[in-house]
Chain A
Amino acid sequence: AQKITQTQPGMFVQEKEAVTLDCTYDTSDPSYGLFWYKQPSSGEMIFLIYQGSYDQQNATEGRYSLNFQKARKSANLVISASQLGDSAMYFCAMSDSSWGKFQFGAGTQVVVTP
Chain B
Amino acid sequence: DVKVTQSSRYLVKRTGEKVFLECVQDMDHENMFWYRQDPGLGLRLIYFSYDVKMKEKGDIPEGYSVSREKKERFSLILESASTNQTSMYLCASSPSGGLAGGLMSNEQFFGPGTRLTVL
Contacts and interface: CB of A to CB of B under 8 A. Distances in A.
B106 interface: yes
Contact of A47 (B31, B42, B88, B107): B107
B31 to A, nearest CB: 6
Given A99-B31, A99-B56, A99-B98, A9 B40 contact: yes
A96 B113 contact: no
A104 B44 contact: yes
A99 B48 contact: yes
Contacts of A85: none
Contacts of B102: 52
Contact of B97 (A9, A42, A45, A98): A98
* Main DSSP-derived SS at the A contact region: loop
Contacts of A101: 33, 45, 48, 58, 97
Interface string A25-51: 000000111010100001111010010
Interface residues of B, number: 33
Contacts, number: 78
Nearest to B113: A43
Interface in A35-79: 35, 37, 42-45, 47, 50, 52-53
Interface of B: 31, 33, 35, 40-45, 48, 50, 56, 58, 88, 90, 92, 94, 96-99, 102-110, 112-113, 115
Interface of A: 4, 6, 9, 31-33, 35, 37, 42-45, 47, 50, 52-53, 91, 93, 95-102, 104-107
Given A44-B112, A52-B103, A102-B43, 9 more contacts: A42-B112, A43-B112, A44-B113, A93-B43, A95-B106, A97-B103, A98-B98, A100-B97, A102-B45
22 contacts: A35-B107, A42-B112, A43-B88, A43-B112, A44-B112, A44-B113, A47-B107, A47-B109, A50-B107, A52-B103, A52-B104, A53-B103, A91-B42, A95-B103, A97-B98, A100-B31, A100-B108, A101-B33, A102-B33, A102-B108, A104-B35, A107-B42
